[in-house]
Amino acid sequence: MNLIRRPRRNRQSAVIRDMVQETRLSVTDFILPVFIMEGKNVRSEVASMPGIYRFSLDLLLNEIQECVDLGIKTFDLFPNISESKKDKYATESYNPDGLYLQAVRAIKDRFPEVMVMTDVAMDPYSSDGHDGIVENGKILNDPTLEILGKMALAQAQAGANIVGPSDMMDGRVGYLRQVLDEGGFHEVAIMSYAAKYASAFYGPFRDALDSAPKFGDKKTYQMNPANSREALIEAQLDFEEGADFLMVKPALAYLDIIKLLNDNFHLPIAAYNVSGEYAMIKAAAQNGWLDGERAMMESLMAIKRAGANVILTYFAKEAARLL
């Protein structure tokens, strides 16, 4: 055959393949989500997330040290709160002596160079298991913002570097920016969950935190998986309201949304490779149905190739070891 174009020429050896590789993963791309819980000397594995643990404060610091040694520098914290501390208004979320804010302070004390990202949402502390105040079965938007404001301010006071509103209430990015600025926290960044979908892939996370909604679902605030143009509206609003990063969540089933936001906005784009995405690969690998390491690296690469500069992933430690 007289073929002028032979794409295989650029795949013929490892050296050439490496030279023409367009996307590269780096440990600096990753943010590791970390689950914390009350108690001493507790390290409890999440049943649906093999290899992922909830840590009590004392063990948390050892875990962070291990991650820092692997080059992971940013952590996103999520608390498992005992049922007795939950209420309708998530008041435990801004208790300065509560588990969560203690953890933020402890990490920043011991590892000042580490970036601590905090989660701004009511669900882990809400007796209704929702991300907003519930009244007569409805999620109230504007009154919820006040609670989110108190939460973000308390997190900033504890030393958080990035706050991550994961609630999907309207107007929360602008409201948080205002509260943070008034509190003197101009340097605290906002990573908004701009396009967060009402997804089945959050199941294992809700197991980890015992935070599943007590009734109904989250479809009046999280987005319909069928929609992509709507993601542009959400991202535009968060951009105008002052977000520093725009996040897409989940990641793998939403690579088109990652690309859409990357093409249309000049902010860093983050993607959350969520608990269910982690669980799927782990389960298949444990059954010997696929090569877990390769599936992990291929997924992370795909998320980056689609346009995410920042990847929140439970695989961060494992991937860091391979990189």
Binding site for ligand PBG (CB under 6 A): 119, 121, 123, 131, 166-167, 202, 205-206, 218, 274-275
Structure tokens that stand for 164 in this block: 């991550």
- Which residues sit in the known binding site? 234
CB of 131 vs ligand PBG, minimal distance in Å: 5
Nearer to ligand PBG, 58 or 217 (CB): 217
CB of 23 vs ligand PBG, minimal distance in Å: 23
Q: Is 259 a catalytic residue?
A: no
Q: Is 249 a catalytic residue?
A: yes
Q: Which residues pair with 53 in a beta bridge?
A: 45
Nearer to ligand PBG, 126 or 262 (CB): 126
Which residue among 85, 86, 196, 317 is the active-site one? 196
Q: Which of 139, 105, 291 is nearest to 95 (CA)?
A: 105
Q: Which residues pair with 192 in a beta bridge?
A: 246
DSSP per residue over 22-75, as a string?
Answer: -----GGGEEEEEEEESSSS-EEE-TTSTT-EEE-HHHHHHHHHHHHHTT--EE
- Which residues sit in the known binding site for Mg(2+)? 234
End-to-end CA distance of the chain: 40
Nearer to ligand PBG, 212 or 322 (CB): 212
User: What are the two backbone dihedrals, phi and then psi, of residue 4, each rounded to the nearest 5 degrees?
Assistant: -80, -45
CB of 232 vs ligand PBG, minimal distance in Å: 21
Which residue among 85, 86, 218, 249 is the active-site one? 249
Contacts of 291 (CB under 8 A, 6+ apart): 285
Nearer to ligand PBG, 119 or 238 (CB): 119
CB of 227 vs ligand PBG, minimal distance in Å: 17
Residues with a catalytic annotation lie at 196, 249
